[in-house]
Amino acid sequence: MIYWQLFLSFFQIGLLSFGGGYAAMPLIRHQVVELHPWLTLTQFTDIVTISQMTPGPIAVNFATFVGMQIAGLPGAIVATLGCVAPACVIVTLLAWLCITGTVP
């Protein structure tokens, strides 16, 4: 199912991109150009370029664009959810640990 594939691809991107947007780019290319036929290399380059001029994290920009192109607005929402889901879980856990003071 396309929604599940979109979610899973962007979940992996969100989970493995340590170090911000530039580190995420090869992961995104692998998922959306090489692994799945969602974007051409030209489209990929276009979105990287557009992302430099629009606000927001590059992974979220890609999630929205790819989702829209592949499965419309629901696709965009699902892909973006997948992209921020790992951070939501991991960072909330870290925040909870830091703030409750269990870990320095």
Partner 1 sequence: MTSGKKFVTLFFSSLKLSAFTFGGGYVIIPLMRKTFVEKYHWLEETEMMDLTAVAQSAPGAIAVNAAILVGYRIAGLAGALITVLGTVLPPMVILSIISMFYEAFRSNVAVSMVMQGMAAGVVAVIFDVVLVMANTLWQQHRAIWMVLLGACFVASMLGVGAAPLVLICGLIGMADTLLPRHARQDGRKVRQ
Residues in contact with partner 1 by the rule CB under 8 A: 12, 14-27, 29-30, 34-35, 45-46, 48-50, 52-61, 64-65, 68-69, 73, 76-77, 80, 83-84, 86-88, 90-92, 94-96, 98-99
Choose between 1 and 99: whose C-beta lies nearer to partner 1.
Answer: 99
Shortest distance, CB of residue 79 to partner 1, whole angstroms?
Answer: 10
Shortest distance, CB of residue 37 to partner 1, whole angstroms?
Answer: 16
- Residue pair 69/80 in contact (Cβ under 8 Å)? The answer is no
- Residue pair 13/84 in contact (Cβ under 8 Å)? The answer is no
* Listed residue (1, 70, 2) closest to 38, CA to CA: 70
Between CA 21 and CA 100, with CA 56 as vertex, the angle to 5 degrees is 80
Choose between 2 and 15: whose C-beta lies nearer to partner 1.
Answer: 15
